[in-house]
Amino acid sequence: MTRLLLIGPPGAGKGTQAVRLAENYGLPAISTGDIFRSNVKNETELGAKAKAYMDAGDNVPDSLTNALIRDRLAERDCESGFLLDGYPRTTDQVRELDEFLAGHGTALDAVIELVADPDVVVERLRKRAGDQGRSDDDEAVVRHRLEVYASQTAPLVDVYGGRGVLVKIDALGAIDVVTARITDALAERGIALADRSRL
């Protein structure tokens, strides 16, 4: 039973690390960004509501995001733990998650902060814009997403730091190296890889 969060600015590599960690720890990776993107792609009602915020690089309103995550965490595969990528992003979302966890008599095991220099992430996202064509990877939107991160999400780092669950990881370096840093830091906290891990 492991419950993990990945937090960090856009471009720090959260999505990439989430997929690897989910596999290594045998957890479902839940990315609110991916869920919103698939709703936009499939032209759902939620997608229609979220799209303008996403294109502008703003956070989707907490009411929509919290409802989505409440439903997702209630699914069966989350009973034995989860890895959240990109949620919570605001103090209101922290409250929502706290309530959910308290209601289930559980707590987070670790909050992994991917630390990356803003100039480096802007450059990474410039590359991703070419590779993946994400509409919110336009440079002006990227700068705005970084501002939104700094004002709305960065304060969460202190919240989790104060609770003693924060694990700070240098996100610069090869993907494997960053994964190994995370795995080592979690091992120090007694969080072990799943048996079927390939590491």
Q: Catalytic residue numbers?
A: 14, 89, 128, 134, 145
Cβ contacts of residue 96 below 8 Å, gap of 6+? 62, 66, 69, 70, 88
Closest CA to 118 of 91, 149, 87: 149
* Residue 36 binds to ligand AMP (criterion: CB under 6 A): yes
8 is in an annotated binding site: no
11 is in an annotated binding site: yes
Report the residue from 24, 59, 179, 183 that binds ligand AMP according to the rule CB under 6 A: 59
Q: Which two tokens stand for residue 64?
A: 């929509």
> For residue 31, which phi and psi values (nearest 5 degrees)?
-110, 115
Write the DSSP string, 118-140.
HHHHHHHHHHHHHHH--GGGSHH
* Residue 57 binds to ligand AMP (criterion: CB under 6 A): yes
91 is in an annotated binding site: no
Rounded alpha-carbon distances, angstroms, from residue 177 to 17, 64, 157, 190, 198: 11, 35, 23, 20, 15
Min. distance of Cβ 102 from ligand AMP in angstroms? 19
Name which of 33 and 81 has its Cβ closer to ligand AMP: 33
C-alpha torsion sign, points 96, 102, 105, 110: positive
Min. distance of Cβ 50 from ligand AMP in angstroms? 7
Report the residue from 8, 13, 33, 81 that binds ligand AMP according to the rule CB under 6 A: 33
* Residue 9 binds to ligand AMP (criterion: CB under 6 A): no
Cβ contacts of residue 196 below 8 Å, gap of 6+? 26
Annotated binding residues, as ranges?
A: 11-16, 32, 37, 86-89, 93, 128, 134, 145, 173
Q: Site residues (CB under 6 A) for ligand AMP? A: 10, 32-33, 36, 53-54, 57-60, 65, 86-87, 89, 93, 136, 145
Annotated binding residues for AMP, as ranges?
A: 32, 37, 86-89, 93, 134, 145
